[in-house]
Homo-oligomer: A and B are copies of this chain.
Amino acid sequence: MNKLIWPRLTMGTCYYPEHWDESLWLSDLRRMKDAGITVVRVGEFAWNKFEPREGEFTFDFFDRFLDLCQQEGMQVIFGTPTATPPAWLTDKYPECLNAFRDGTLMRHGARRHYNYNAPKYRELCARVVTQMARHIGKHPAIVGWQIDNEFNCETCEFHSEADTVAFRTFLQEKYGTLENLNRAWGTAFWNQDYTEWSQVYVPRTTPGNAQNPHMEMDWRRFIAASVESFCALQVEILRQYIGEDVYITTNGMFAHIDNHKLTRDCLDVYTYDSYPNFGFPLDGSYDPDALNDRKWSRHLTEVRSICPHFGIMEQQSGSNGWHCHMEGPAPRPGQLTLWTLQSIAHGADFISYFRWRTCTFGTEMYWHGILDYDNRDNRRLKEVKHVHALMEKLQPVTGADSKAAFAMVKDFDNIWDMEIDVWHRRFHEASEKAVFEFAQRTHTPFDMVFMQETTTLEELLRYPVLIDPHAVLLKPRRAELLRAYVEQGGTLIVGCRTGQKDPDGHCVMQPMPGLLSPVTGTEVSEFTFCSPAEPPVTADWAGETLDMPIFNDVLTALPGAKVLARYASSYYAGEPALVENTLGKGKVLHLGSAFSLSNLKLLMCYAGCLSPWEHAVEVPERVELVPREKDGRTFLFLLNYLNQSQPVTFNQPATSLLTGEVLEGTIALPPFGVEVVEL
C-alpha cells in the first residue's frame, strides 16, 4: 500500500511562476502562507525554463523561485515537464508526436501531443530530467516530485509509427511467435493471420473502423505498459539524485493505464485531480436527479483502491473551462469546502488547490484558480482560509482508514474489454453505476478491489460481501480467489455474462459462468438482450418483484444450488433468474441480469449488507455518509450536496470535530453543509 503517509492534513496549491511577473512571487507566497497553504506544485509545463534550446540548459529562473520558497518556508512539489515538449523539439523531431488513427500527427499548440515510445523523445526527456535532478534534486525546498502531468489525459490512444515499432516488441515478448499471436488474436477469423512481424500495426483506419478486438485489447495493455515504462524512466533518474525523504508521484486518473501497477512499481504515493464542478454542465445535460458533483465520490473510491491515503494534486477551486469547451459556473459558496471534505472523507490527506490565480492568457484562461485575474482578495480565498481552519480541526482523521460494508470487484482487462465490446459495455456501465448509486443512496459504504497479480485472499476477506458484477473475462486465479473467499465465509454476488471469456478474450466453449460454474452452482442455458419489443423483464422472488434489466442469462441450478427467483416475463418466464449456492462457510448469489438500484436493494438486504450506520445516524438519501476509523476511533463524514438544508438524526450522541459540540437528535445540515463527527 502507501509508501508515503502524510503526517498531517496538508494544504497546497498549484503555482506557475512562469505565468507571472516575477514581482508578484513574494506577495503570492506570503498570501498563500497566510491562507494556510504550505506546499506549491510547480514546473510541470516549464521545459523551456530549463532547456530553451536543444541542449542549452539554464536554471536561473527556478533557482530564484526555489530559493524564495526556501526563504519563505514554502515547500515545493516539482513536476517533470514532459507533458509539453517544446516547439523546437517537435518541429525538429516529429517522430516524437502522437498520431490520430489515420496517421495525421498531433501538432504543437496544445499538450500531451507526444508518444511514449519514440527513442528520441525518451532520450530528450531523460536528458532534461537528469539535468533538472542534478541541479535542483537536493534543493531543500523540494519535498516531492510529480512525473509528467495527467498521463493519458487529452488522449489515451496512440497511433504513431514509434508506437507500432514498440507494439511489435511488446507482442514479441508476450507471444514469442506469430503462431501464438495468431491464435490469441483469432486471426483465423476474416483471414487475418500475420506471417511477418512487420505486418502488425497499432490500430489503423479500416472500413467501418472495425478492428480485431483481441488486438484492441493487447493495444490497451501495451499503452498501459508504455505509460509505466515512460514513467519508470524518469523515476529511475530522479531516484539517483533526490533525497530519501523526497517522494515521487504523478497526478490524475485516466484511461488505458493500470494505475495500481504503476503506483506499486514506480511511485511513493498517488495523487488525483478532483473537479466535481463537471457535475454542473452548461450544455443542457444537467440532470437535477443525478448525483452530479457527488459522482466524484465514485472516482475517489477508485483512487482509494490504488492508494488508501492519497493526495489531491488539483482540487477544484473555481469555475472550470478551456477557451473552447468545458465551461461551468463558479462553485457556490460552500462547495469549495464541501468538495475538499469529500476528498478528505475518501482518504485524501493532502489537498492542493488548482490553482493560485487564474491564468490571464492561453487555453485555460477560464480554468479559474482561487484568485481572479484582478488579484484582489475574494470570496474563494476567504473560503480557502475557512477550509484551512476546518482541516486543523480534522487532524485526528489524518491517515484514518476507510470502513466499507462491502466491496465491488474490478479489473483492467474487463474495463478494456467493455470499451471494445459493446455487448459487455451495455450492462457493465449500468451495473457499476447502480452499485455506486446503491451505496450512496442507502448509505452502505463500499470500497473497490482491483484484481491484480498481487491481490491476496486476505484483501478480499476484509469484506463480508463482494459484488463482482460482470467478470466477463475471467482468469483462473480470480476464480480460485473467489472460491476461497466464499469457502471462508464470504458472500459473493455476480451478474450476467460472468465467465464468458478467457484471458485472450475468446468465448469459452463451456457453459457459462465457465470457470466460476462450480462456485455459483449454475449454468447458463440461454441468453439474450432484453428486447425493445417487450416490456421490462422482471423476476419473482418470493412475492417480491426483482427487475432484471438489460441482459438476461437464463440460469440452471446445479445440484445443491437453490433457485431464489424465477423470471416472470418473456419467453423464459418460470426459468431461474437468481440462484443461491452455498460453499464452505459462504454463499454465492448469481443474478441472471445487470444490476440496478432496485434489485441491489433486495439482494443486499438478503445479504445482510444494507445501511449499516442506521442505528447511529439517519441520513437523507441526498446526503453522503462516509465512515473512517483510526486507532479505535470512528469518524463519520456527512456531506450535503444540495443547496437546501437537510435533516440528520443522531440516534446516539456524536461529537462534532468541527465545533466540539455533542450532537443528538435531529440537526439541520445547511445547504452544501458538512459535518464530521466521532461516534
Residues of B within 8 A of A192 (CB): 84, 87, 108-109, 362
The reply on A488 being an interface residue by CB < 8 A is no
**Bound-state Cα–Cα, A287 to B324, Å:** 28
Q: B-facing mask of A377-419, CB < 8 A → 1, else 0?
A: 0110000000000000000000000000000000000000000
Tallying the copies of this chain within the complex gives 3
Is B199 touching A319 in the complex (CB atoms < 8 A)? no
**Bound-state Cα–Cα, A48 to B179, Å:** 13
The reply on A8 being an interface residue by CB < 8 A is no
Is A509 touching B375 in the complex (CB atoms < 8 A)? yes
CB within 8 Å for A107 and B204 given contacts A319-B528, A422-B327, A532-B286:
yes
Contact residues, A71-99 vs B (CB, 8 A): 81, 84-88, 91, 98
| Minimal beta-carbon separation of A456 from chain B (angstroms) | 32
Q: Which of B195, B329, B571 contacts A528 (CB 8 A)?
A: B329
Q: Which of B191, B196, B286, B533 contacts A280 (CB 8 A)?
A: B533
Q: Which of B106, B292, B360, B423 contacts A206 (CB 8 A)?
A: B106
**Minimum CB distance partner of A194 in chain B:** B87
Is B359 touching A109 in the complex (CB atoms < 8 A)? no
The reply on A669 being an interface residue by CB < 8 A is no
Q: Interface centre among A100, A206, A286, by most B CB within 10 Å?
A: A206
4 smallest A-B Cβ distances: which pairs? A186-B361, A189-B362, A330-B528, A286-B532
Interface residues in chain A, defined as those with a beta carbon under 8 Å from any beta carbon in chain B: 16, 18-19, 45-48, 52-53, 81, 84-88, 91, 98, 100, 102-113, 154-155, 185-186, 188-196, 198-199, 201, 203-215, 280-282, 284, 286, 288, 292, 319, 321-325, 327-330, 332-333, 358-366, 372-376, 378-379, 420-423, 426, 500, 504-512, 525-534, 571, 643
Q: Could you name 28 residue pairs across A and B whose Cβ atoms are closer than 8 Å?
A: A19-B188, A52-B195, A85-B191, A87-B195, A87-B199, A105-B205, A108-B199, A109-B206, A109-B210, A109-B211, A109-B215, A154-B207, A155-B207, A188-B362, A189-B363, A209-B324, A211-B363, A281-B532, A286-B532, A292-B533, A323-B423, A324-B422, A329-B529, A329-B532, A330-B528, A360-B506, A360-B509, A365-B507
Known: A109-B215, A366-B423. 15 other contacts (CB 8 A): A47-B191, A85-B191, A87-B194, A91-B199, A107-B205, A108-B192, A155-B207, A192-B362, A280-B532, A319-B529, A329-B529, A360-B506, A360-B509, A378-B525, A378-B526
